[in-house]
A and B are shown apart, each in its own frame.
Chain A
Amino acid sequence: MRYIRPLSIEDAVGELAKAVGPAAILAGGSDLLVRMKGGFIEPELIVDIKRIGGLADITETADGFRIGAAVPCAVLGENKALRQAWPGVVEAANLIGSKQVQGRCTITGNLCNASPAADSVPALVAAGAKAVVAGPSGKRTIAVESVPTGPGRTSLAKGEIVEAILLDKRPEHAGDAYLRFIPRTEMDIAVVSAGVNLTLDDKGAIKTARVALGAAAPTVLLVEEAGQVLVGSKLDEATLERLAKICSGACRPIDDKRGTIEFRRKVAGVLARRVAAIAYKRAGGK
């Protein structure tokens, strides 16, 4: 086993591309070290990407925000501009694990770990976030929802690293929010979760909407029909009712130690309603 700490993304990609045995990328390590401890993965190469230039920074650009792959979730919460623009993404990131875990974990890691219950992913999907992928054949930018392909599986090729997550600049009257259901008040993995991202027109009606559900299917679900039902509304009761019904119906959940199929279906609808109301309020809707 080798531990390396490359200083450039090219070096990191190169090492990963030529690795013979299993290789792992280390940013926050909050998933990787748990899997190593449990014996689920025995990497021959660990590539620590935290010292690569730019990967530990959040930068505000003309197009929005670029969040480096090694930025701990706690740092997202400390960035005022990001918090104001994307409160739903930030609150999702700051729900992962404990304060201790938030000091280490990253939204990129959360995405690439490819758990359907990852907290930050529904918020990122609803936000229309993009992932910048660096690989042996250059860089590409893809929608975050195209990264995970199933529990623990991603579309990334050998040698590829997600080096940053991009979030758009916010227009006027925009808001996002994220809610999850857990049995305790902290420390649990989401039993089911929902993220909503809205923009409003000048009259306060919803202009665009994206709704995503977590722990409701093998990957985070972007429920396009749920977004469509919101567009044009001011979140009246009938719309919320339809939203809940569509979200419950869109779920393809499983029975497991964290919840039942019936529970997840029902609560997906409940959370969608509640989270839409929060996002609407944040966007300035009344």
Chain B
Amino acid sequence: MAGVAVSTTINGDAVEYLCQPDETLLEVLRDRLGLTGAKEGCGTGDCGACSVIVDGRLVCSCLVLGAEAEGREVETIEGMAHGDQLHPLQQKFLEHAALQCGICTPGFLIAAKDLLAKNPSPTEEEIRFGLAGNLCRCTGYDKIVRAVQDAANVMKGA
């Protein structure tokens, strides 16, 4: 199997790696680059725990090949806070206790960030459908939806 050399940008930094042709971006992030914030809950695009943003588009990194990242810009949970300044979504998730076990949280935060970028004032229904690709088994989603609503309000005010 011939390795593929990839030059890409991750959270604003230039990154180069060699990966196998069938290796997913999720595997590259976790196993080659040590970015374990994206989680594998299913490996088939059904849970959203591995969500990342590639060239401004929300995707499941388990459904992207590492080779495909060539020349792209990838955003992961590790790049969401600015230094010690949490993103408003991160802060609101903490304040609302929008996480219990926390395994789905990185995926939810990335998906919510994408949602608010496209729709800064979503209704409850828009939030619920916008986040339907992210499974949470602990919270019943109530506090997650409230945290996103609250973060949206804060971000509009900012």
Contact = CB atoms under 8 A, between A and B. Distances in A.
B14 interface: no
B22 A104 contact: no
Contacts of A46: 21-22, 65
B130 A99 contact: yes
A37 interface: yes
Interface stretch (A1-9, A213-221, A226-234, A263-271): A1-9
A29 B64 contact: yes
Contact of A186 (B51, B60, B115, B133): B133
Nearest to A34: B44
Interface residues of B, number: 33
Contacts of A99: 58, 111, 114-115, 130, 132-133
B65 A98 contact: no
Interface string A103-130: 1100000000000000000000000000
Nearest to B52: A100
Nearest to B20: A1
A101 B60 contact: yes
Given A103-B58, A104-B63, A186-B133, 16 more contacts: A1-B1, A3-B4, A3-B22, A3-B67, A33-B24, A34-B45, A37-B43, A46-B21, A46-B22, A46-B65, A98-B45, A98-B132, A99-B130, A100-B59, A103-B57, A104-B64
Which 7 interchain pairs have the tightest Cβ spacing?
A: A98-B133, A3-B21, A186-B132, A103-B57, A100-B60, A3-B67, A100-B133
Interface of A: 1-3, 5, 26, 28-30, 33-34, 36-38, 46, 48, 50, 72, 74, 97-101, 103-104, 185-187
25 contacts: A1-B21, A1-B22, A2-B21, A3-B22, A3-B65, A29-B64, A29-B65, A30-B45, A33-B62, A34-B44, A37-B43, A50-B68, A98-B60, A99-B111, A99-B114, A99-B115, A99-B130, A99-B132, A100-B58, A100-B60, A101-B60, A104-B57, A104-B60, A104-B64, A187-B132
